[in-house]
């Protein structure tokens, strides 16, 4: 299994060399994704900022997630993470070339409470958006709240690695 340091050590130079900018829109990871990215030396060369949108209202106001999407699919859904990732890219498009911006998004149920039969604790959707591709994947993690959050971050970084052709 790929470690966090392995993922970041491959991503950091690749993003810089290819001239990409990275943003993230986080819910269940509570800023951990952005925090760990910025713990990497040189991340200021590509990481332009992120959004911590824990509430549905914040997702709507800051990322443009449609209230209809949240009503029909919920915050923990493919549709929501894709709208979150698109919104994060759009938020920086006046300052950075849109075709160079990549976005990751996370929304899930880290626990220990809050799950349902349809979406049990550990259910996490991760989204990716770029000028040429959009992806969303659902994961079902086990462990403590902190472990679910860390597994979510690693899965998001692996998704980005795959999109960049590093895996």
| pTM for the structure as a whole | 0.96
How many whole angstroms separate alpha carbon 153 and alpha carbon 117?
24
Go through 3-24 and write b for each residue having 16 or more CB atoms within 10 A of its CB, e for each that does not. eeeebbebbbebbeeeebbbbb
| Strands 101-108 vs 123-129: parallel, antiparallel or unpaired | antiparallel
Tens of pLDDT along the chain (167 residues) come to 467 788 888 899 999 999 999 999 999 999 999 999 999 999 999 999 999 999 999 999 999 999 999 999 999 999 999 999 999 999 999 999 999 999 999 999 999 999 999 999 999 999 999 999 999 999 999 999 999 999 999 999 999 999 999 98
User: Going from the N-terminus, what domains does the chain have, and what CATH number goes with each?
Assistant: 4-163 (3.90.950.20)
């Amino acid at each position: 299994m790929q470690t966090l340091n392995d993922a970041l050590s491959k991503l950091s130079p690749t993003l810089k060399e290819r001239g990409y900018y990275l943003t993230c829109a986080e819910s269940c990871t509570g800023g951990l994704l952005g925090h760990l990215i910025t713990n990497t030396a040189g991340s200021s060369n590509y990481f332009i900022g992120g959004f911590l949108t824990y509430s549905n209202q914040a997702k709507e106001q800051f990322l443009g997630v449609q209230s209809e999407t949240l009503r029909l699919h919920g915050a923990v859904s493919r549709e929501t993470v894709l709208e979150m990732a698109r919104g994060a890219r759009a938020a920086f498009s006046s300052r950075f070339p849109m075709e160079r911006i990549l976005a990751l998004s996370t929304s899930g149920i880290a626990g220990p409470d809050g799950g349902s039969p349809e979406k049990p604790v550990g259910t996490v959707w991760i989204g990716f958006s770029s000028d040429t591709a959009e992806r969303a994947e659902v994961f079902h993690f086990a462990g403590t709240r902190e472990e679910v959050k860390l597994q979510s971050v690693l899965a998001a970084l692996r998704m980005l690695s795959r999109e960049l052709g590093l895996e």
